[in-house]
Amino acid sequence: MDFSLTDEQRMLADTLDRLIADRVAPEQRRAMLEAPADEPLALWQTFAELGLLHMPFAEEVGGLGGEGTDLMLIMQALGRGLVPAPYLAGLVLPGDLLARLGDAGQQARWLTPLLEGEHQLALAWQENDARYDAHGITTAARQDGDGWRLDGNKQLVLNAASAAALLVTARLDDGRLGLFVVPADAPGLSRRDYRTIDDQSASDLTLDAVSLSDASCLGLDVAQALDATLALGRAALCAEAVGAMEVACEQTLDYLKERQQFGTSLSAFQSLQHRMVDMHLHLEQARSMAILAATSLTLPDAERDYRLAAAKAYCGEAARFVAEQAIQLHGGMGMSEECYVSHYAKHLVMFDHYLGDVDHHLDHVSDHLVDAA
């Protein structure tokens, strides 16, 4: 066992922390959120220069061969800064599927420019009727001459408005799950764009007789690859939540020390000290789960998914506890948009709604509780 980071990893984390402190302060973040979706994000260019866009991909596909731990460090830093850049949704998730499933031509067309920062992508896997179940979807793909025709709806597609193309999961006639690259301007594809309550850019998609060439098909039996990619996404989200929890805890602690009531600082009250300790405990336990998640990605599928479900469920509850207490201990301030901690709190609560929530993942753990022992 080894919990230490390599020198390179420590450097990566430091560089990112500095960059984010410098470039994603609250006012800068607000401006980034207000910029139109088609305006290139200056920060993305910097990410490209730092090699961050290559980091999480294998060398065979032109990446730097980073491991789960590297991704964890990046996501944790992004979480600390509440950075509104679609690193996971626009790069890691679609890129990982392209790396797993794409042929040379598809990778040259979609993956290489993604790593070079020339375009972003999005992954459309979620349908409200299937809730968090990536396999229970009804969007249909039918063979149509030499190509394919897609019909259906997708919800909560993060980064769709900035994506050059969308990777869309669809059910085939034989019941298997296919994956298709749908260019953003494909006829028959329409989007309803919105922001989530925690400021992510998202869209609902309608696919109405979207006609695709055979070269757009990334695979006709992608369930296993999709699970692997979503597992990676869950590990990344846990790390991001840990970063955000760290800051929420730090800001709350600072506030308790600074805020004076009854002639003393709030940090003098024992009930608040204990609460702060509970927040810290939740953070440290969540951190352990995020590490477990990041280092479980290469395990056999079933073992990986068991641990990832456990980590995501655990972090979901911990993130909510930290968020709620951060608001509560800030008093009225915690309720105001102007107080930065409220933005962390929102993201930490809504974290649970991405890639499966506590109930979804507890159910998975519960199903496999006995075989895991």
Partner 1 sequence: MNLTYSAEEQAFRQDVRDFLATSLPDDIRERVRLGRRLSADDHVRWQNILSERGWLAANWPEAHGGPGWGPVQRHIFDEECAAAHAPTVVPFGVNMVAPVIMKFGSEAQQRHYLPRILANRDWWCQGYSEPGAGSDLASLKTRAVRDGDHYVVTGQKTWTTLGQHANMMFCLVRTDPDARKQAGISFLLIDMASPGITIRPIITLDGAHEVNEVFLDEVRVPVANRIGEEGQGWTCAKFLLTHERTGIAGLGHAKQALRHLKSLATRVPHRGRPLLELASFRQRVVKAELELMALEVTNLRVIAAAQDGSVPGAESSLLKVRGSELRQELSELTRRALGPAALPFFPDFLHGDGELDDPTLAESAAGAAQYFNRRKLSIYGGANEIQKSIVAKTILGM
Ligand X SMILES: Cc1cc2nc3c(=O)[nH]c(=O)nc-3n(C[C@H](O)[C@H](O)[C@H](O)COP(=O)(O)OP(=O)(O)OC[C@H]3O[C@@H](n4cnc5c(N)ncnc54)[C@H](O)[C@@H]3O)c2cc1C
Binding site for ligand X (CB under 6 A): 259, 261-262, 266, 269, 271-272, 328-329, 331-332, 335
Those residues whose C-beta lies under 8 Å from the C-beta of residue 290, and which sit 6 or more positions away, are 72, 76, 235, 238, 239, 241, 242, 311, 315
DSSP sequence for 131-157: TT-TTS---EEEEETTEEEEEEEEEEE
Exactly one of 46, 131, 208, 265 binds partner 1 (CB under 8 A); which one? Answer: 131
* 13: nearest Cα among 72, 64, 82: 72
Closest CA to 148 of 239, 219, 202, 91: 219
Q: Which residue from 113, 285, 358, 368 is in contact with partner 1, where contact means CB under 8 A?
A: 358
Q: Which CB, 15 or 261, lies closer to ligand X? A: 261
Residues between 248 and 267 with contacts to partner 1, criterion CB under 8 A: 260-263
Structure-token pair, residue 260 = 């004076």
Q: Residue 327 class from Cβ within 10 Å (0-12 exposed, 13-18 middle, 19+ buried)? A: buried
Least distance CB 261 / ligand X (angstroms): 5
Residue type, 168: V
Instruction: Closer to ligand X by CB, 190 or 261: give it.
Output: 261
Question: Is the CB of 64 or the CB of 333 nearer to ligand X?
Answer: 333
Residue type, 26: P
Q: Which is nearer to partner 1, 65 or 136 (CB)?
A: 136
Torsion angle of the four alpha carbons 276, 278, 283, 285, in this order, in degrees rounded to the nearest 10: 160
Of 138 and 261, the one with the shorter C-beta distance to ligand X is 261
126 contacts partner 1 (rule: CB under 8 A): yes
Number of chain residues interacting with partner 1 (CB under 8 A)? 52
Binders of partner 1 among 82-121, rule CB under 8 A? Answer: none
- Residue 17 interacts, among partner 1, ligand X, none and using kind-specific CB cut-offs from 5 to 8 Å, with none
Is residue 332 classed as helix, strand or coil in its secondary structure? helix
- Integer-rounded Cα radius of gyration of the chain: 21
Q: Are 222 and 172 in contact (CB under 8 A)?
A: no
Interacting residues with partner 1 between 149 and 178 (CB under 8 A) = 155-156
360 binds, among ligand X, partner 1, none (CB under 5 to 8 A by kind): partner 1
- Residue 269 CB, shortest distance to partner 1, in Å, is 8
Cβ 286 vs Cβ 360: under 8 Å: no
* Shortest separation between residue 160's beta carbon and partner 1, angstroms: 13
Does the protein bind partner 1 through residue 363 (CB under 8 A)? Answer: yes
Closest CA to 27 of 297, 343, 250: 343
- Using the contact rule CB under 8 A, the part of the chain among 105-113, 127-135, 179-187, 207-215 near partner 1 is 127-135
307 near partner 1, rule: CB under 8 A:
no
Q: Which of partner 1, ligand X, none does residue 195 bind to, with CB < 5 to 8 Å depending on kind?
A: partner 1
Q: Does 133 bind partner 1 (CB under 8 A)?
A: yes
Sign of the alpha-carbon torsion through 153, 158, 161, 165:
negative
> CB within 8 A of 300, min separation 6: which ones?
none
Residue 233: strand, helix, or coil: helix
As measured in angstroms, the least distance from the Cβ of 139 to partner 1 is 15
Of 108, 143, 359, 369, the one binding partner 1 by CB under 8 A: 359
Query: 210 to each of 38, 139, 175, how far by Cα in Å?
Result: 23, 11, 19
For binding to partner 1 (CB under 8 A), which residues are involved?
A: 126, 128-133, 136, 155-156, 192, 194-198, 200, 202, 204, 260-263, 269, 271-272, 320, 324, 327-328, 331-332, 334-338, 342-343, 345-346, 349-350, 352-353, 357-360, 362-363, 366
